[in-house]
Amino acid sequence: MASRLLHRHIREQLKDLKEVSHESLVVGAIENAFQLMDEQMARERRGHQVEGGCCALVVIYLLGKVYVANAGDSRAIIVRNGEIIPMSREFTPETERQRLQLLGFLKPELLGSEFTHLEFPRRVLPKELGQRMLYRDQNMTGWAYKKIELEDLRFPLVCGEGKKARVMATIGVTRGLGDHSLKVCSSTLPIKPFLSCFPEVRVYDLTQYEHCPDDVLVLGTDGLWDVTTDCEVAATVDRVLSAYEPNDHSRYTALAQALVLGARGTPRDRGWRLPNNKLGSGDDISVFVIPLGGPGSYS
């Protein structure tokens, strides 16, 4: 639903900008479009009996600038003459810990009697009541000690590390669309209040640099980035594009295919494996490659 309709919301919002004089107007229109998409999903989910949610990564080109809007754990990078320019960041329980904890602190009713907004290095055990343990709250980037009290025995709002990090022991991404009916397992506590539909929007001015046909914007879902670094993607960009003539447009399709296949790995006795024998990606792998320059001309 988002892939079919989100761009329409964005287009409608941009139509309202009679004269685009500042990029903040475009950013605001994109943010508003994401919210409208999320509201439409909420309205229609019952009639269509569709549940669940999704991440969204969007690129808009307007008046010489590229706007990259990300809500979720997908990622976009520009590879320009071998240089890597990040155009998004992932939104996970770890990266948004303080926002989640602040909401839990301000609205404790969202946590019920099951969760605590405080974070501890590990789950607190009943036998540790009265002892001192490291913790951090919504205001802290570092750690401090506190005396363990009865309410600290509740499950932490944010728990786990890396790909195993979860909000309320349920979901591993903190921004996206949908998930209006998502609840904690075996509970009536809704998780949607902690999930933001608003994207982070980054802007890249194409007019500030002369781009060649090998300069590209790469968009990928977490299935790509779970097993592939930015540097490895840049190396694949150089390897694949250098094998084609600059005016051969199939070079970009070949690059996207190489990135997908590289993250998937090859079948072996113990599953799909990468060249280093680590497991290939077990998640969805979707990749877009967008050229920033064309043969014989510069943007």
Do 177 and 35 lie in one domain? The reply is no
- The pLDDT of residue 294 is 64
Parallel, antiparallel or unpaired: strands 155-156 and 115-116: parallel
Residue 296, domain member (yes or no): no
Last residue of a domain, one of 141, 171, 194: 194
CB 184 within 8 A of CB 114: yes
Do 124 and 213 lie in one domain? The reply is no
Last residue of a domain, one of 194, 216, 239: 194
- Provide the 10 A C-beta neighbour count for residue 153: 14
Identify the domain containing residue 256 by its residue range: 1-89+198-291
Task: State how many domains the chain has.
Answer: 2
Do 210 and 71 lie in one domain? The reply is yes
- The pLDDT of residue 267 is 87
CATH number of the domain residue 83 falls in: 3.60.40.10
Q: What is the pLDDT along the chain (299 residues), one digit of tens a residue?
A: 899 999 999 988 888 776 666 888 999 999 999 999 999 999 988 777 778 899 999 999 998 999 999 999 999 999 999 999 999 999 999 999 999 999 999 999 999 999 999 999 988 999 999 999 999 999 999 999 999 999 999 999 999 888 889 999 999 999 999 999 999 988 899 999 999 999 999 999 999 999 999 999 999 999 999 999 999 999 999 999 999 999 898 999 999 999 999 999 888 877 888 888 888 888 899 999 999 986 544 33
Torsion of CA 11, 14, 20, 24, to 10 degrees: -110
In order, the DSSP letters of 72-131 are SS-EEEEEETTEEEE------TTTTHHHHHHHHHH-GGGGTTTEES-B-SSPPPGGGTTS
Residue 297, domain member (yes or no): no
Cα dist from 237 to 96, 198, 216, 259, 263, whole Å: 31, 30, 8, 9, 14
* Backbone phi and psi for residue 125, each to the nearest 5 degrees, phi listed first: -100, 150
Residue 55, domain member (yes or no): yes
Do 100 and 132 lie in one domain? The reply is yes
pTM: predicted TM-score of the whole model, two decimal places: 0.89
**How many Cα neighbours within 13 Å face the side chain of 215?**
17
The residue assigned the tokens 């990749």 is 287
Q: Bridge-partner residues for 79, per DSSP? A: 84, 216
Nearest Cα to Cα of residue 2 among 39, 27, 28: 39
Do 237 and 250 lie in one domain? The reply is yes
Do 178 and 256 lie in one domain? The reply is no
- The pLDDT of residue 298 is 39
Do 166 and 245 lie in one domain? The reply is no
Do 188 and 205 lie in one domain? The reply is no
- The pLDDT of residue 296 is 40
Q: Distance between CA 216 and CA 250 in Å, rounded? A: 14
Do 259 and 228 lie in one domain? The reply is yes
Residue 299, domain member (yes or no): no
